[in-house]
A and B are shown apart, each in its own frame.
Chain A
Amino acid sequence: MYNLIGAGLIVIGGGIGLGQIGGKAMEGIARQPEAAGKIQTAMIIIGALLEGLAFGALILGK
């Protein structure tokens, strides 16, 4: 029961983080379309790091 609540909290946190990353990247690309490639790469790396954190917490919580 409690680990399910914990999993929900992790997903909320990860979702906020991914939303921030994605939103800011979109803004960046809209402002500077010529830098889209670089922004996308950086976005994916940060997203992956965040994902690692969230999955780590999920696995440890299980």
Chain B
Amino acid sequence: MIATKSIKFFTILAVVFSSLTCFAASGGSTDTKEGQVNTPESINAYIKHHLADSHDFALYSYTNDAGERKHVGFPLPVIVWTSKGLKTFMSSEFHHNDDGHVIVEKGDVKLVKIHSKIYELNEGADHVVFDAHHHATNAHKVLDFSITKSVFGMLLAGLLMLLGFSSLARGYKKGAIPTGVGRLLEPLVLYVRDDIARPNIGEKKYKKFMPYLLTVFFFIWILNLLGLTPLGFNVTGQIAVTACLAIFTAVIYLTNGSKDFWAHTLWMPGVPKILRPVLALIELVGFVLIKPFSLLVRLFANITAGHFVVMSLIALMITLKNQFGPVASTGMSLLLTLFISVIEILVAFLQAFIFTMLSALFIGMAVEEHDHEHAH
């Protein structure tokens, strides 16, 4: 009973938070130099800007009566490997500039930020020169290890998981029934074990893979939910993050493949010998490339599409302001955003489930041992 109550509470909290996205975004919607976002191009640029990773944690920004831009948020550390070695400083030194006009000098290295990427000016240059396509001609990229917004989100998810699960683990020392957050987490852990790992990997071997499956499930789920809060994380919508997760899965099922799995992949029994190399090629490409690729693209595209729809619906209040007036357009945008956000809560869970499920399925395929009693 309490478990359903806490799930209800959690859902309501998520709905309230995701509807707050409207307010957060309407505050930041005057990001351009002109101070207004009202053309389709500027709205498109604004949405893309919000989907991308950034070096500082902006909550919202506004223009005060004196006409100054004020940014509310906090800076994050920038860690870059330049031609002169490692440089670290806070992103506030860029003063929220994103077009390369603010130059940060660290020792003998000059750094600028253009479209959320950090560039190092070439020797002797004192300002950035752009070509016709708005590419910098006298600056080059540096190796960027910064704690960006996405990295911050991942650390936050890790911290949340650490707190939640250590409290769940401590709960079992006191008694068999967990209390507090554990009540919410225990059924999910059992769900991953009984409905994802056991049927797909098999009763004998599933235990070895439970840590990975649980970690990946809760990591993706928490990050998806964080992406629905007005904090504006878009971590599982970064292709590098999903690619990394897919590579983990691929490495795990390729290194744990049983003898039977490799025999069936590389030299399929029961098929004419001429066909076997062709089949081996298809199977190898499938397991090494296509399966991880479909895993990474599915998560990335789903989350990106979700964020894009939410942002577009928020932008309705700006695009329809002239036709319907501010109140009607804001109301419409709020209702539609709330509706889509509720669907996004479902998608957040579904994508975490599907990623874990398919990982378990592929691992199950790899570790399966056939009984050789029957002929193929």
Q: Which of chain B's residues has its CB closest to A56's CB?
A: B297
Could you tell me if B294 and A49 are in contact, using CB atoms closer than 8 angstroms? Answer: yes
**With the chains together, A58 CA to B301 CA distance in Å?**
9
- Shortest B8–chain A CB gap in Å is 23
- Shortest B193–chain A CB gap in Å is 15
Could you tell me if A55 and B297 are in contact, using CB atoms closer than 8 angstroms? Answer: yes
Could you tell me if A45 and B357 are in contact, using CB atoms closer than 8 angstroms? Answer: yes
**With the chains together, A45 CA to B199 CA distance in Å?**
13
**With the chains together, A55 CA to B300 CA distance in Å?**
9
When distances are taken between beta carbons in the complex, the residues of chain B under 8 Å from A58 are 301
Could you tell me if B298 and A51 are in contact, using CB atoms closer than 8 angstroms? Answer: yes
Q: Does B358 contact A (CB under 8 A)?
A: yes
A41-B195, A58-B301, A59-B301 given; A53·B294 CB < 8 A: yes
Q: Does B302 contact A (CB under 8 A)?
A: yes
**With the chains together, A58 CA to B350 CA distance in Å?**
20
Contact with A along B285-307 (1 / 0, CB 8 A): 00000000111011001100000
Q: Does A4 contact B (CB under 8 A)?
A: no
- Contact residues, A33-62 vs B (CB, 8 A): 41, 44-45, 48-49, 51-53, 55-56, 58-59
Q: Does B361 contact A (CB under 8 A)?
A: yes
Q: Does B354 contact A (CB under 8 A)?
A: yes
**With the chains together, A44 CA to B302 CA distance in Å?**
15
- Shortest A17–chain B CB gap in Å is 14
**Interface hub of B293, B297, B301, B302 (most chain A Cβ within 10 A):** B297
Report whether over half of chain A's contact residues are helix, strand or loop; otherwise say mixed.
helix
- Contact residues, B60-75 vs A (CB, 8 A): none
Could you tell me if A56 and B358 are in contact, using CB atoms closer than 8 angstroms? Answer: no
Could you tell me how many residues of chain A have their Cβ less than 8 Å away from some Cβ of chain B?
A: 12
Could you tell me if A48 and B301 are in contact, using CB atoms closer than 8 angstroms? Answer: no
Pick the contact of B294 from A44, A45, A56 — CB < 8 Å?
A: A56
**With the chains together, A60 CA to B139 CA distance in Å?**
30
Could you tell me if B354 and A44 are in contact, using CB atoms closer than 8 angstroms? Answer: yes
- Contact residues, B258-282 vs A (CB, 8 A): none
Could you tell me if B297 and A48 are in contact, using CB atoms closer than 8 angstroms? Answer: no
Pick the contact of B297 from A41, A45, A52 — CB < 8 Å?
A: A52
Could you tell me if A48 and B298 are in contact, using CB atoms closer than 8 angstroms? Answer: yes
Contact with A along B331-361 (1 / 0, CB 8 A): 0000000000000000000100110011001
Q: A48-B354, A49-B294, A52-B297 are in contact. List 12 more A-B contacts (CB 8 A).
A: A41-B199, A41-B357, A44-B350, A44-B353, A45-B358, A45-B361, A48-B298, A52-B294, A52-B298, A55-B297, A56-B297, A58-B301
B interface vs A, CB < 8 Å?
195, 199, 293-295, 297-298, 301-302, 350, 353-354, 357-358, 361
Kindly list the 8 A-B residue pairs having the minimum CB-CB distance in the complex, ordered from nearest. Answer: A52-B294, A55-B301, A48-B354, A52-B298, A55-B297, A56-B297, A59-B297, A55-B298
